[in-house]
Amino acid sequence: MLTLLTFGSTARAQTLVGTITEVRTGQPVPYANVGIPGKNVGTVADEQGHYQLSYTAANLADTVCLSSIGHEPRRVLLRELVARPEVQLTPAAIALADVRVQAPGLFKRRLTLGNTSNSEMIIAGMAAEGHGAEMGVIISLRHQPTKVQQARFNLLYQDSTDLTFRVNLYRLLPNGQPSSEKLNRRDIIVHSNSRPNNAGPLVVDLTPDNLVLDEDFLLTLEWVAGGTAQKSQEMHGLRKNVYFSAALGYFGQPPYIRKTSQGKWEKLSLGARLAGMQFKVGFNVTALD
């Protein structure tokens, strides 16, 4: 069975080019998110803070959010951003994690949470209209607190072009939908060519983050660089090769996707077609509880 989840690109009338820097140092803010929240108009700045945002005249009255971990998000009308595309972000104070006293026996049991499928028969392609596209799954904790040590993404991509991804852990809203608040306090960047022989899963060490969590969360992989965004043909070619192992089952929740930076989250459910079976993408974490 081949399941391919992709969306066609929409023609854009104009492209805004600018740079995002830090107000105190003047240094570029790498991989900052730029987009209209809830709409599929967005992108990600490159490592030097340069961004290219495609938009139409209908978007000029919309508000663009520019954000990066460790900085105060900035919101500005698109028409104002077009007039002044050079943007500075202000560093934000980051609250220190709560001090926890570890009781005897705590964090002794190792377990895997999420979907471990490494199938090459049931697969999912990342829905993407450019950099900033994300795919994620809800990780449900079995016990609280849980210490997350490693994230694993069963990526099937083997193209020679290196792709850069960002790992995000989002807090969930009371209704179970993803919020915009990240539980990780740094940008966690991983490259597709970091895998041995450019094959196998993306494995990310999270032990330096000391993520001790008391709540379920959305674990995502965000495509932030790789390929030339201006060359739609090249982006389309890469997108067709970005696959993940997947599975079908009766339990758990379907994955979430969004096609652009800060775009609208969409839940992918095949239950109505497959007698209640859910589509599951091969994302998981190793944890202690």
| Distance separating alpha carbons of residues 40 and 27, to the nearest angstrom | 28
**Overall average pLDDT of the 152-158 stretch:** 94
Residue 275: what pLDDT? 62
SS3 content of the chain, % helix, strand, coil (to 5): 10, 40, 50
Residue of 160 and 72 predicted with greater confidence = 72
CA dihedral 130, 34, 171, 235 (to 10 degrees): 10
pLDDT at 239 over 60: yes
Residue of 88 and 101 predicted with greater confidence = 88
Residue 5: what pLDDT? 41
> Which sign does the torsion angle of CA 137, 130, 52, 62 carry?
negative
The pTM of this model reads 0.88
Largest CA distance in the chain: 61
Pair 126, 175: CB distance under 8 Å: no
The answer, yes or no, to whether the previous bond of 145 is cis (omega within 30 of 0) is: yes
* DSSP codes of every residue in 147-162: EEEEEEE-B----SS-
**Overall average pLDDT of the 170-192 stretch:** 95
